Amino acid sequence: MDMRINPRPLSGTVTPPPSKSMAHRLLIAAALADGVSTVRNVALSQDIEATLRCVTALGCHWEQPKSDVVRVQGIGGKLADRGGELPHFDCGESGSTLRFLIPIALAAAGGGVFTGRGRLMERPQKPYFDLFDEMGIFYELQGNTLTVRGSLPCGEYRLPGNVSSQFFTGLLFALPLLGRDSTVVSTTALESSDYLSMTVKALRTAGVSVSFQPERRRCRVSSAYFKPFDAAVETDWSQAAFWYAANFLGGDLRIGGLNPLSSQGDRAVIKYAQILSRSGDAEINVSGCPDLVPPLAVMAAVRQGTTYLTNAARLRLKESDRLKTTAAMVNALGGRAVEGTDSLTVHGVPRLTGGTVDGANDHRIVMAAAIAAAGCSGLVTILGAEAVNKSYPLFFKNYLALGGDVSGV
């Protein structure tokens, strides 16, 4: 589905969707609990549906008594006997689902068979594979299918923290199931530590004792039964960032539902928007909040000065090569952006002109292009706009309600 947008400033009140990152974590914690949990304020994007498919494959049951409520009957940490057959997990295009479930499947079921679509299986799994080589755990990646089989031991796990915090999260969910306390240690600087703070919060919600020491780059997690709970997912700062970008381009939006004390690292969008509102060159280290790069690039495209978004190499392994596609989006609309090996440099221009943007099957590129369109001088066409369904299915409905002039073509 392609979208055509006539430039028009956005105004009104908008509440971004619930945090996809926290919804993944709470639903998985509920699936591992011994009893029935209720997770409220859930939006069923494609990624969250992938996690629900996978926890169903683990053996839990869930229902929706209301459209934004999911009630989960957990498995108590152990999968029912399948006669030696490994469970199958369809992860769609959700990197969080895949990386979280790999160690959980080993701990609860002795392994699993994982499939994915798009670029999912191209994303690096080396931190897990290196651990599996040390522990004698079998793994085999063939095309879009990954098979793992074996047992996770208790003890200390050492892995790099500069690839993705998702590997740490997966282990922290799995290790409490093993019968003894364990520790996860980062052998490098720990990037995206705020995502681990979200994991710790979800684990504690389910009654798991966790000691997180960011300065020492280590987490200690106790052996525990996950307890059932009732919790609400907070509003998503990463999606709110697009609406902040709309205001930067001249919009008049009131963005509701956000927790200013959230553990979500993407709340930094407020600070970075303030930095970009000042003229002159600016450098922003995005290692802890890489998802902010597309909306920050939109802001940078129309400010006075050059903006350097640095330490962003991980963006090359998202739904698209997001450094390349963010630069292409800005340039297609009349801006000036240059990708580096692990950075994006954006030279501000007086105004974006409009044009045609390839959405690159990437939800964040589509949303960034739509927000940029509000500040363009000419028509904008976005190819493959349906990619927003991965994380924010109501994005264009909200966009219209805020005065946007958008139509399918």
| Residues contacting 211, CB < 8 A, separation 6+ | 219, 220, 221
Q: Is 403 helix (H, G, I), strand (E, B) or coil?
A: coil
Strand 11-14 to 252-255 pairing: parallel
Burial of 302 (0-12, 13-18, 19+ CB in 10 A): buried
- Measured distance CA(382)–CA(4) in Å, rounded: 6
| Residues contacting 144, CB < 8 A, separation 6+ | 115, 116, 117, 120, 121
Element at 226 (helix H, strand E): none
Q: Which of 194, 291, 358, 362 is catalytic?
A: 291
- Measured distance CA(27)–CA(48) in Å, rounded: 9
- Measured distance CA(214)–CA(102) in Å, rounded: 24
Output the six-digit token pair for 58. Answer: 């683990």
Is 362 catalytic? The answer is: no
Which stretches within 257-348 are classed as H helix?
269-276, 293-301, 322-332
Output the six-digit token pair for 160. Answer: 């790099």
Phi-psi category of residue 378: left, alpha or beta, with phi > 0 → left and psi -120 to 50 → alpha: beta
Annotated active-site positions, please?
A: 291
